[in-house]
Structure 1
């Protein structure tokens, strides 16, 4: 008997076919990742470029303010001290020692002057007189006491003498050839007059002299 051996065909393993849909999804995913990576890289690059390096802050130091030192215009002046009444006053250094009237001419002061006129200056064209008068009253009474009844009195300026009220008056008197002026003030039961003896005096110098007047003891 003839055996017919049948030949079975060899079975090839089946190769899975790629789904077109899966390939497209994979490609899209890759593209998205690339875009995201590029975007993140661009973001960080831009952020780094936009960072401005700030210079270190310098502390602001305020400018030093220097106040001008007051100048004492009377620093080199001389000083007259009266120990009897109790006061002192400076006078310009160009003047020699003050004097008082005497029977034989001017006499040097010794600090015990009272009820008298003290003269600063040797030349009549450049003199200042400080008169010291025992007095218990007010300024108006002192004005009446030292002026003639017909004198025309006008106030030039109000001042201070060691904290006391002082008044600078202009006097026009028919018995005098020309107007004159003086500063009046009161203290220690005395009246005081500071009077320039010439018409071309310096008002600033008179006021400076008054500013140095101080009561003592």
Structure 2
């Protein structure tokens, strides 16, 4: 798993700087709105008071999302990674950011790769596992509406991550397996309810 994580993080690293410059240039060509979106302050709790909460019961965390994100994003769960994709207008969805849960040992292994470690931002840790986030700047859009929407939503990411909450210290009895292949945290194993493909089950202590 850690090798896959590192490969995934590094895959986009060579294009980050160029794509970021490209995105900024494209957004700059679009006429500014009457009330430009200010860069949010992660500690400004009042600004997030009316945001909507997204809760993931499989990985035990919650974050809040701005009202402006309504109907503009899709959530994709793949094993222990949750990706928040921009829901494009007449174009394909594309990742804004993702949150990944790894064990402490996997996180420590990840830190040995300087480039991968630089792309992964730790947002929560306890004795069992670490949650980290990363984001994409490889924006394939040509539609000016998508370029502007993506740019505005991208500016919200740091403040969104500041609302992260771990929701359950216990993983006993939590969902595992299934189509998404959800993995139990370190110290737990998945007790499947059958031997068929994509079988699901519950996490139990080893």
TM-score, length-scaled by structure 1: 0.37
TM-score, length-scaled by structure 2: 0.39
Give the structure, 1 or 2, with the largest relative contact order (CA under 8 Å, sep 6 or more): 2
Q: Which has the higher helix share?
A: 2
Task: Return the index of the structure with the highest Cα Rg.
Answer: 1
